[in-house]
Chains A and B, each alone.
Chain A
Amino acid sequence: MKALSSGRSEARTSLLRFFRSTEMTLLVVGAAGFAILVAGSHGSLLHGDAVRGILSYLTVPILIGLAQLVVLAVGQMNLSVGPLGGFLAVLIAALMADHGVPVLLAVVIALTLGTLIGAANGLLVVTTRINGFIVTLATMTILGGLQYRVVGTRTIDPGSGILKTFGTMSLLNVPVIFLIALAAAGLLAFFLRRVVTGRRLLASGGNPLAARLSGISNDRAIVVAHALSGLIIGVAAVLTVASAPGVNKSIGGDWLLPSFAAPIIGGAALTGGSVSVLGAVLAAFVIRLVDVARAQYSLDPSWVNFTVGAVVLGTVVITRIRETRQAKATRRRVDLGRTGITGDSSTAGSAS
């Protein structure tokens, strides 16, 4: 009995699957959108400055998308991404500008604190058994207060230190901070696909009951996911301080929608277990194009939120339709497959 098809046809199936995937759709939409914008700008969008600008402003959307994605993987949500990022950003700036803390130490503090606050979110969820939505709604408000407490109404300019130089550095017109975001995405994808802890997150998100019966701790998965989310937000905060001219109480205020938009448009299931890092990165790029278009054609800023919101809603609806259709097709295929099974059940038995 041939249980698995040959390697070649398998490669063809996975190629076929990619062409039908959300990632492929986003790639096409992104490339087409970018080409149209380039044509509309008579090529000026391809100049070094313009490319650097686009990629530089893509850094934070990618990171906050990843921070949301990792909690979506276990079927959780993190509403506190914005205020956490804002709080950490003003904290770094204040430590350096007001207290003369060295850059490296400030960065380490921010990353550690981000991880700890994320872990605290997770611990609150598993110890109180209160829905993560409510818990992070509360911590969102608390962190917003802390951010204001640190920065008040001022705008802190951490000056022209190493961090600033770093923030404006680029390799062949690609900003280094953007490369860091890409590296974070690559690491996260690898973590979820090939590292035991990451696999456990996906298993727990995919089916907590089956995960528990397989010896996986769902509580640990939730805490780890929130802690990672906090760490990634810490990275986003550091890069914000590095690239922004100054930080104030408004940093992080507009992160919530994009943090959900990128993973959801990228194909993540809100129920957990199914996320796509590549999809989220591509989706962040597509969303960024909406902003570029606004700048290029001097559109009203309100159109950006309108468009992004509409795209999120549209994606969710389309995904739902596709899932329903897929489920129907599967049922048909399984019915067909059943006749196949009865055909060689004797072989199946003796093979054991």
Chain B
Amino acid sequence: MTDIGSDPILLADGLVKDFPGVRALNGATLRMSPGSVHALLGENGAGKSTLIKILTGLYQPDAGNLVVGGQPITLHSANDAAAAGIAVVHQERNLVPEFSVAENITLNRIPVRGVLVDRAEMRARARRCLDLLDLDLDLDAPVNRLSVAQAQLVEIARALSSENRVLLLDEPTSALTLQESDRLFELVRRLRDQGTAILLVSHKLEEVFAVCDTVTVLRDGVSVLEAAPLAEHSRDEVVTLMVGRSHQAASFEPHVVERDGPAALELDKVSTASGHRDISLDVRRGEIVGLYGLVGAGRTELAKALLGLDRVVSGEVRVHGQRARVRDVREALNRYRIGYVPENRKEEGLFLDQPLTMNIAVTVWNRIQRAFGYVPRARERKLVQEYTESLGIRASGPDQHAGLLSGGNQQKVSLAKWLAAKTEILIIDEPTVGIDVRAKSAFHQLIWQLAADGLAILLITSDLPEMVTLAERIVVMRDFQIAGSVPNDHDYERTSTAVIRLIHGSGSSNRKPYER
């Protein structure tokens, strides 16, 4: 490490953070100087969010040091971080929807007089914060009446409400228009000139290059570029650093994709009630098509629309060439043979307190029932036996509760019910989040085998190496639209660079409703 410029206001050195099966940070370093805007860049899963959560006291690092203003410090909670002068605007909304603008802005330091809330002081403080942003909002309006952009600005105003030395902005412009973004960055520059150190996490390289002075690039939990002056690097250099050459995409035997006849699943200019516009894509039998995009790009929402959980307002969905109007999941499953392995297996994929028999047979009760809806126990157990064997699920028996399995085995169970139901089109959403490396590669092999067996697979993942390993084509979504499509030649560097370029394409975001 070389010392450049003034003493750092914040120094994170050699941070290590382990999660079950995954090392999110592996010696990451971050050095922020007062009076400068610092960019933190990296792919999905590079460790940016984990780093931010450590800096704000939400996670404790397993190793490494944190120094703020020359003092070594340990942050046990968000309050500790606030006390140390670190403020944050998280990517997710952290507002109380029913509370007023003024209440939300002063939420972490409510002014009191005796035991009562000092409303006059509260409004005065909130007004000062809004004035900094040149915002003219009704202080008494409940936050749930605001647009997404306004709510975002309230959140930023809140981060300004205390005397902070360090301000962390995690994707602050994802819901803002260009004008609103410009106003925000004007303020960022002003704060910088007053001596605040600002960290900007953004996927939009234009704004990074327009606003930031220095940059740190994270890859696989390590800082591959550390506190470097941004002026000395081109956009292409930065993208190359983010992608890296370290990934060796696993290769599988290529399998046959059925090119003749209609696609198994075809979307023709589909627009949905939740905001997708003119989505067109197709998946053929034996093909794995990847759907890549940032969090909030509308990928999972698109999957849910295909299951009939959201309304298709225009355009056409075709299954094996026939127009499909899916009204509910039951119809998606029984009539169109579409299955969906959800991204949160524990919340949406499994019955944790129920035996494997229920978890796997739930989609086929219709088919295996006898008179009066009687489901023979032996039939359920045989089904479990079949899939625990073919998928290699390690369980003590068919009566074991799904909650007692490891992550990799849980994911296989979550998949098994769709295989049992003989689905022909499978949408797999973030299949390997929180699964350790070995189980992950076994799962990749499994997905590949399913495609080889003739399933049409739409793979949603934020894990770019996984995408390059599995998908034949990568469709990139941005702001509920298709940004483009990249053929995968299994050369990691070339393919992922093309994908990252599409993601980072310029243009302002369209507004989305606050509650979706």
Contact = CB atoms under 8 A, between A and B. Distances in A.
Interface of A: 1, 3-5, 10, 13-14, 194-200, 202-203, 206-207, 209-217, 269, 273-274, 330, 333-335, 337-338, 340-342, 345-352
B492 interface: no
B446 A349 contact: yes
A334 B377 CA distance: 27
Contact of A3 (B334, B389, B439): B389
Contact of B348 (A206, A209, A350): A209
A214 B404 contact: no
A346 B439 CA distance: 9
Secondary structure class of chain A's binding surface, majority of residues: helix
Interface string B326-342: 00111011100000101
Interface stretch (B97-105, B175-183, B362-370, B482-490): B362-370
Given A195-B372, A197-B373, A345-B438, A217 B330 contact: yes
Interface in B385-412: 385, 388-399, 403-406, 408-409
Ranked 5 nearest A-B pairs via Cβ: A348-B392, A215-B330, A349-B445, A196-B373, A3-B388
A13 B398 CA distance: 12
B441 A349 contact: yes
A203 B392 contact: no
B373 A337 contact: no
Given A209-B348, A351-B391, A345 B354 contact: no
Interface string B349-375: 111111000100011011001001111
A269 B401 CA distance: 15
B5 interface: no
A338 B21 contact: yes
A341 B395 CA distance: 11
B397 A202 contact: no
5 contacts: A4-B385, A341-B438, A348-B391, A348-B442, A351-B391
A192 to B, nearest CB: 11
Contacts of B394: 3, 337, 340-341, 348
B417 interface: yes
Given A349-B445, A352-B392, A207 B350 contact: yes
Contacts of B408: 341
A347 B342 contact: no
Contacts of A269: 353
A186 to B, nearest CB: 15
Contact of A213 (B329, B366, B376, B441): B329
Contacts of A5: 396-397
Nearest to A3: B388
Contact of A342 (B349, B375, B404, B436): B436
B470 to A, nearest CB: 14
Nearest to A6: B397
Given A215-B329, A338-B21, A195 B374 contact: yes
A200 B417 CA distance: 15
B311 to A, nearest CB: 16
Nearest to B449: A352
A215 B441 CA distance: 30
Contacts of A14: 399
Contacts of B388: 3-4
Nearest to B401: A330
Given A337-B394, A341-B439, A351-B391, A210 B358 contact: no
B289 interface: no
B351 A207 contact: yes
Contacts of A216: 330, 362
A230 B446 CA distance: 47
B397 A13 contact: yes
A203 B442 contact: no
